[in-house]
Amino acid sequence: MNIITLTSDYGNNSHYIASIKGSLLKHITNIHIVDVTHGIQKFDKIESAFVLTNSYKNFTDGSIHLICVETNILEYKNIVIAKYQNQYFIALDNGIINLMFDQQSAEIWILKKVLLSNVDLFVENDVFVKIAEHIVNKLPISDIAQLGKLTNGLTLRNVNIEEDGITAHVAFIDGFGNVHFNLSKTTFDEVRKGRKFKAYYARKNFFDKISMHYTEGVAGTELLLFNSNNYMEIATNRGNASQLLGLKINSKIIIEFFN
């Protein structure tokens, strides 16, 4: 059975989700549709990329991911089919794919312009579905697209690495108010080299230890940990870290290492 996922900023009270699912089931047999989320903040490409980057690795080879965020075809012009690690990602050339992975490691296909004629403004329900059908039927992508490059670059705030410190930034805030940074455990450990540390995160507050789970300490305790995808995260036991600490997208965490 073929897996097709949906990621969107539609919310859960619109007809758009049902329309796309209906079109997929109408045109493609033997599929399983998975909702990654429809709660992306409106037009938030950074959040879209972060959610998908931290979820697609759990899907099987051949899975198809429809990225239904910022799909204004009049603005972004091109529809992209990216093949990466034996999975397919369908989106507009709006920067989301750039954030998800290095395009040099992926096959980037640009949908042929002739297939965009007479397309209405709901391209997800029309063109995205047709592309998914083409892939599920194991037809050559070259029939509908040509190899190309992404044109709309989008980058997160950089992780600044020095010999004795790291500065990272908030990339995503989840539904629990947990604050996710663009810093992997691998990078943290490589720079740390076993040393002690202080991680300053809000109003001169700092952590000097890594917690192992979300329920350490009493309710209201602030925690620094690496999540299941091995990215740094600040959480609050039974609380909303983002609201309590005033942390937002691109807020800094400054980490100092010492002996």
CA–CA dist 136, 67 (Å, integer): 17
Beta bridge partners of 91: 80
CA–CA dist 127, 116 (Å, integer): 8
Instruction: Kindly state the helix (H) or strand (E) to which residue 50 belongs, with its residue range.
Output: helix 45-53
pLDDT tens column, 230-253: 889 999 988 999 998 999 988 999
CA–CA dist 36, 96 (Å, integer): 15
CA–CA dist 85, 72 (Å, integer): 27
Beta bridge partners of 147: 109
Q: Binning pLDDT at 50, 70 and 90, where does residue 102 land?
A: low
The whole-model pTM stands at 0.76
Cα distances (angstroms) measured from residue 198 to each of 137, 164, 184, 231? 53, 11, 17, 17
pLDDT tens column, 139-178: 999 999 999 998 876 655 678 899 999 999 998 888 899 9
Q: Which of 126, 127, 122, 125 is nearest to 111 (CA)?
A: 127
Q: Which domains does the chain have, with CATH numbers?
A: 2-147 (3.40.50.10790), 160-258 (2.40.30.90)
Q: Are 212 and 218 in contact (CB under 8 A)?
A: no
pLDDT reading at 112 higher than 80:
yes
Question: Which amino acid is present at 28?
Answer: I
pLDDT tens column, 195-243: 999 999 987 799 999 999 998 888 888 999 998 888 899 999 889 999 9
pLDDT reading at 182 higher than 70:
yes
Question: Which amino acid is present at 106?
Answer: A
pLDDT tens column, 117-141: 767 778 999 999 999 999 999 999 9
Q: What is the mean pLDDT of residues 2-21?
A: 94
Taking the CB of residue 27, how many other CB atoms lie within 10 A of it? 13
User: DSSP string of 152-194?
Assistant: S---PPPPEEETTEEEEEEEEE-TT--EEEEEEHHHHHHHHTT
For tokens 């990654």, name the residue.
Answer: 36
